[in-house]
Every structure is written in C-alpha cells, then in structure tokens.
Amino acid sequence: MATVLRRQGMAVDVSLDGRDALARASVVSYDVVVLDRDIPGVHGDDVCRSLVAGGGRSAVLMLTAAATLGERVEGLDLGADDYLGKPFHIAELVARIRALARRSGPALPPTLTHGDLKLDSARRLVTRAGEPLSLGPKEFAVLELLLGAGGAVVSTEQILERAWDDAVDPFTNTVRMTISRLRSKLGDPPVIETVTPGYRMGGVP
C-alpha cells in the first residue's frame, strides 16, 4: 500500500503497531491516517479514539475485514471519518484518501493556475500554454504544493514533509534536484523563484 501511494505522489509513513502509530501522530500533523482496525499493540479502535480525543486535524480512514453494517457503523462511531472494508481495490483507497485530504486541509480549487500554467489535481494533468507536461509523482506533488500556496514561500522542510516521508534524509538535496527538473520541464519564462528559506511561484506579471 505504501509503495502504491508513494507512486501517487503522497508522503507516507508506516507504523506496524498501535503504539508507534500514536507516537508518530503526536509529533506529525498528518492529513490522513489510514488505520487498520486489527493492528497489534494498541488496538485500532483505541488508536482512533485517542486521535479523535486529541483534537488533531488528521482525518481517519479505518480499514477492516468486518463486513456487516453494524460493524461498519461501530467503526464510524469511534470517530473515524471514513471506513473501507477488506478486500478493497487500491484505486478506491487512493480516491478516498484524496477526498479526505481535501476535507482535512484548506479547500483548494480543482484546477490550480498560475499564468498559462494549469494543474488539474483530479486528472493528475499539468499543462502550460495548453501543452501537456509529463511530470513525475514528486514533481507533480511539489508543483501542487507551490501552486496551492498562492504565492507564499514554501520552505524546503515543508516540501520534504508534505511530498516525501520519514525515510528521506533531511539534509538531502532531493528537493533542490526535483525543483531543478521541474523548472526544466516547465520551460520559459521561469515561474518558480528561489526565496530563502524555500520556493514560491512567481515570474508572472
């Protein structure tokens, strides 16, 4: 699951038990927590209760093999925002995560624009002057972050947190290299500015 979601441009951290999940959620503000109800250590139900009681903004998507309506309602009553029964199709999981992420954060329009640059989040399509651009998942994620910031500076740390995951070296130059490739693909005139301590969209009169 994590591999597939990362290919979709998402930053994914993985916890294999409830205690670790709660520890991570206490220090990282996740957009969405995908929570297996039957994880070891601390049961998924108790993890969900703790996340909801903590007042964080993370949306919770519960996964479970439980199939009855009563069990699904019970999961939602714990405070989960959505519920997905096993087995499920990975495309449905991706769609539900994206829907929850939109609801948990500031609402963004379905199409982000900057001059002649357009990004369609739902269709995963970027065009400039009407011409489609071929972007990798991380390039797309970084561009979406910058466009969504509305001209505000997005720090390198914020980009790492939102577009990568905890496996990345915080001292790596991966953000700089991704920005460099993105600038090359976006072409002229340049629209991404380097501004300490990060980057922002600019260059359009």
Residue 67 predicted with pLDDT over 70? no
Stretch 148-169: mean pLDDT:
81
Stretch 49-62: mean pLDDT:
86
Residues 42 and 136 in one domain: no
Alpha helices per DSSP H over 78-190: 90-104, 137-148, 156-163, 174-186
Residues 134 and 181 in one domain: yes
**Residue 156 belongs to a domain with what CATH number?**
1.10.10.10
Residues 67 and 10 in one domain: yes
What is the structure's pLDDT at 117? Answer: 96
Residues 56 and 20 in one domain: yes
Average pLDDT, the chain: 86
* Neighbour-count burial of 146, counting CB atoms closer than 10 A to its CB (0-12 exposed, 13-18 middle, 19+ buried): buried
Question: Could you say which of 45, 69, 104 is where a domain stops?
Answer: 104
Residues 115 and 91 in one domain: no
Domain coverage including residue 179:
111-201
Strands 111-114 and 82-85: what pairing? unpaired
Question: Could you say which of 104, 123, 147 is where a domain stops?
Answer: 104
Give the closest residue to 65 by CA, choosing from 39, 42, 91, 41: 39
Residues 137 and 182 in one domain: yes
Strand ranges (E), the chain: 32-36, 59-64, 82-85, 111-114, 117-120, 125-128, 131-133, 154-155, 192-195, 198-201
Total of domains in the chain: 2
Residues 17 and 45 in one domain: yes
Stretch 70-98: mean pLDDT:
82
Stretch 144-168: mean pLDDT:
83
Condensed to tens digits (0 to 9), the pLDDT of residues 18-35 reads: 999 999 998 888 889 999
pTM of the model: 0.61
Question: Could you say which of 59, 84, 104 is where a domain stops?
Answer: 104
Phi, psi of 107 (to 5 degrees): -65, 130
Residues 177 and 119 in one domain: yes
Condensed to tens digits (0 to 9), the pLDDT of residues 117-153 reads: 999 987 889 999 999 999 988 899 899 989 988 899 9
Residues 81 and 124 in one domain: no
